[in-house]
Every structure is written in structure tokens, then in C-alpha cells.
Structure 1
Amino acid sequence: MLEVNALAVAYGAIEAVQDVGFTVEEGQIACLVGTNGAGKTTTLRTISGLLRPHRGEIRFRGRPIHHLPAHTVLALGIAHCPEGRRLFTGMTVEENLMLGGHLRRDGEVTKDMNRVYELFPVLGERRTQRAGLFSGGEQQMLAIGRSMMARPKLLMFDEPTMGLSPIMSQRILGAIALLRDQGTTILMVEQNALAALTLADRGYVIDLGRTTLSGPGRELLADPRVRAAYLG
């Protein structure tokens, strides 16, 4: 579904991504793991059209997309659930969800909003409350729900469990696995390499802006290089 080839992205004179390449197969969870500053978030931001590469190529279902603006990438079927959630905290749950579906013209926005409430019942119970009143875990649920409202073919998550308790982290990762099982392809960046690679169909290790290792998630878990670098 997604192909990233020899991607290079710079912030001014600083090259944050130098040579990243990976593929995401339809119906799977692919995960990027690596240390802070490795280039993972930059890679997701480039895929979603927020940044432009100065070298390399990104293809979605065979179509080059690395030159397209973010709203066009979203319309093609790629949604991005960003690090830090980035909710409109002064707006209600329902208003945040409606914004997630603002490009939709198919008349089924309400149906998908109810799907979000089924996945995260607390959002349905508190749909008229402002997002800023929610806990970190509840805000992450809402950020996921907002991304779902675009009805994406590929949903990208950047650090979905950051700052959450172990119990809430497991609940969020379980929801992501359920979305995969329901037909949404997932690309995820996650600092918790053990949880990420246990969940992922395929994993990629990003180090200093380059893809250094790849393989099925559970095989990477057994790789001594990965265990030494990311699992202690």
C-alpha cells in the first residue's frame, strides 16, 4: 500500500532523515522504532504532506505523493494521529470528531462517529464535554477517533502511548490492533519497542535517519542488536 524509497528530509542545513526506506502492506501493522531524534516523526510528517523531501520517493497505492499538500494526501486516504494528540481542547468531543471528517461528502459521518463511540464508550458518554477536561488517555482516545473520522485506508500513529499508564497503553494498543483487524492498515511510531514489535506484522529500525534493520515484528524482538539497543 505504501512505499518509501531512499527518503531524505532536512530542516535547513540539518538533514534529519538521510536514507529511510520501507513498505507497508495492506491490512497489516508496520512499526518504526528507534531512539529519540532518529527521524521517525519527520518521516511520518513527510508522508502526510507536512514536509517536503529533498530526495527520495513516497508512493501510495502506486501513486507518487511526496509532492502533494497535506489536505490532498488526507483525501487520498492517509490520516495522521500526531504525537501530543493536538486536540482542540476548547471544543467538545463531538466537535473534534466532526473536524476529523471535514473532507467527507458521503453522508455517513454520523455512522462513523457512532463507530468511534462503540470503540471508546467514554467518548460517547461525554460527547458534549470539552476535550481539555479529559485525562491524557481519554484525549488519546479522542485523537484516535478524530483520525478515524476521515475513514482512512492508512492510519499513521506517532507515539500513541506516550505519557500513559501501562493499563491505558495496553487499551490504546488494543484499539489499534482492532482497527487493523477491521481493515485499516496501520503505520505506527512507538517508543515502547517491546509493545510495538509484539503488535506489529513488520518492523523497521530507524537509526540516525537511516533504516538499519527490518523484518517481522517478533523476529526483530529476538534480534540481539535490537534487544541490546532498545530492550535493555
Structure 2
Amino acid sequence: MLEVNGLSVAYGAIEAVKDVTFTVQEGQIVCLVGANGAGKSTTLRTVSGLLRPRRGEIRFRGEPIHRLPAHAVLAAGIAHCPEGRRLFAAMSVEENLLLGAYLRRDRDIAADAARVYELFPVLGQRRTQRAGLFSGGEQQMLAIGRAMMARPKLLMFDEPTMGLSPIMIQQILDTIAVLRDRGTTILMVEQNALAALTLADHGYVIDLGRTTLSGSGRDLLADHRVREAYLGQ
């Protein structure tokens, strides 16, 4: 579904991503793991059209997308649930969800919002309340729901469990697995390497802007280099 080949991305003179290569197969959860500053978030921002690569290519369903603006990448079927959630705090739950569907012109938007409320009942119960009044976990639910409203084929998560309680972390990870089981392909960046690789069908390790290891989530969990560098074992 997604092919990233030899990706290089710079902020001015600083090259944050030097040579990242990976693929995402349809129906999988694929995780990118690595230390802070490794280039993981920059990679997702480039896939979603927020940044332009210096070198390399990104293909989605066989078509190049690395020169498309962000709204065209979204229209092609890729939604991005960003680090820090980036909600509109003064707007209601319902208004935030509707913004996730701003490119759509079909008549199924209300039905999709109802599916979000079914997945996250607390959002339905508080749909008229401002997003800024919610807890971190509830805001993450809303950020996921907003991304779902675009009906993406590929949904990207950037640090979805950051700053959450252990119970909420498990709920968010369970939700991501449910989305995969319902047919949405997932690409996820996650600092919690153990949780990410336990969930992932496939994983890639990014170190200093380069892809250094890849394999199934189970194989990477068993790799001594991953255990020493990211699991403290």
C-alpha cells in the first residue's frame, strides 16, 4: 500500500532524515521505533505532505505522492493523527469530528460520526462540550475519531499513547487493533517500543535518520540489539 524509498528530509541545513526505506502492506499494523530525534515524526509529516523530501520517493498504491500538498494526500486516502493531538480546544467534540470530514461531499458523514461515538461512548455523551475540557486520554480518542472521519485507507499515528495512564494506553492500543481488524491499515510511530512491537505485524527501527533494522514485531522484540537499545534489557 505504501512504499517509502531512500527518503531524505531537511530542516534548513539540518538533515533530520537521511535514508529511510520501508513498506506498509495493506491490512497490517506497521510500527516505526527509535530514539527521540531519530526522524520518525519527520517521516510521517513527509508522508502526509506537510514536509517536502530532499531526496527519495513515496508511493501510495503505486502512485507517487511526495510532491502532493497535504490536502491531496488526505484525499488520496491517508490520514494523520499527529503527536500532541492538535485538537481545536475551543470547539466542541462534534465540530472537531466534522472538521475531519471537511473534504467529503457524500451523505454518510453523520453515520460515520455515529460509528465514532459507538467506538468511544464518552465522546457521544459529551459531544457538545469543548475539546479543551477533556482529559488527555479523551482528547486522544477525539483525535482518532477526527482522523477516522476522513475514511482513510491508511491511518498514521504519531505517539498515540504519549502522556497517558497505563489503563488509557491499553485502551488506545486496543482501539488501534480494532481499526486494523475493521480494514484500516495502520502506520504508527511509538516511543513505547515494547507496546508497539507487541501490537505490530511488522516493524522498522530508525536510528539517526536511517532505517537500520526490520522484521516482524515478534522478531524485533527478540533481537538483542532492540532489547538493549530500546527495552533496557
C-alpha distance in structure 2 between counterparts of 1:74 and 1:208, whole Å: 28
1:103 and 2:103 aligned: yes
Structure 1: how far apart are the matches of 2:212 and 2:131? 39
Following the alignment from structure 1 to structure 2, what is the Cα–Cα distance between the partners of residues 118 and 201? 26
Amino acid at match of 1:85: R
TM-score normalised over the length of structure 1: 1.00
2:24 matched residue in structure 1: 24
The structural deviation recorded for 1:18 is: 0.2
Distance, in Å, in 1 between the alignment partners of 2:106 and 2:77 is 14
Residue in structure 1 matched with residue 170 of structure 2 by the alignment: 170
Superposed displacement of residue 105, structure 1: 1.1
1:132 lines up with 2:102 in the alignment = no
Alignment of 1:24-103 (within 5 A): 24-103=24-103
Q: For the aligned residues, what is the CA RMSD?
A: 0.3
Shift of 1:74: 0.2
2: CA distance, partners of 1:19 / 1:109:
39
Q: Identify the residue that residue 114 of structure 2 maps to in structure 1.
A: 114
Whole-angstrom CA distance in 1 between matches of 2:27 and 2:115? 19
- The equivalent of 2:188 in structure 1 is 188
Q: Which residue of 2 aligns with 1:159?
A: 159
Amino acid at match of 1:217: G
Match of 1:200 in 2: 200
Query: Aligned partners of 1:144, 1:104: CA distance in 2, in Å?
Result: 17
State the shift of 1:9 in Å.
0.2
Amino acid aligned to 1:13: A
Deviations 1:118-168 (A, max 9, x none): 110000000000000000000000000000000000000000000000110
Structure 2 unaligned regions, length at least 5: none
Secondary structure (helix, strand or coil) at the match of 2:161 reads coil
Shift of 1:70: 0.2
Q: Which amino acid aligns with 2:93?
A: V
TM-score, normalising length: structure 2: 0.99
- AA partner of residue 121 (structure 2): P
What SS does the corresponding residue of 1:106 show, helix, strand or coil?
coil
Give the 4+ runs in structure 1 shifted more than 3 A.
none
Amino acid at match of 1:196: A
- Residue 93 of structure 1 and its aligned partner are, at CA, apart by 0.2
In structure 1, the gaps of 5 or more residues are none
Identical positions, percent: 83
Distance between the aligned counterparts of 2:163 and 2:94, measured in 1?
Answer: 24
Which AA in structure 2 matches 1:107?
R
CA distance in 2, matches of 1:106, 1:24: 28
Aligned counterparts of 1:24 and 1:115: Cα–Cα separation in 2: 26
User: Which amino acid letter does the alignment assign opposite residue 73 of structure 2?
Assistant: V
**SS of corresponding position for 1:18:** strand
Report the Cα distance in structure 1 between the residues aligned to 2:112 and 2:34, rounded to whole angstroms.
Answer: 34
CA distance in 2, matches of 1:96, 1:102: 10
Question: Offset of 1:23 from its aligned partner?
Answer: 0.2
SS in 2 for 1:86: coil
How many residues are treated as equivalent by the alignment? 232
> Corresponding residue for 1:231?
231
The separation in 2 between residues aligned to 1:163 and 1:108, in whole angstroms, is 34
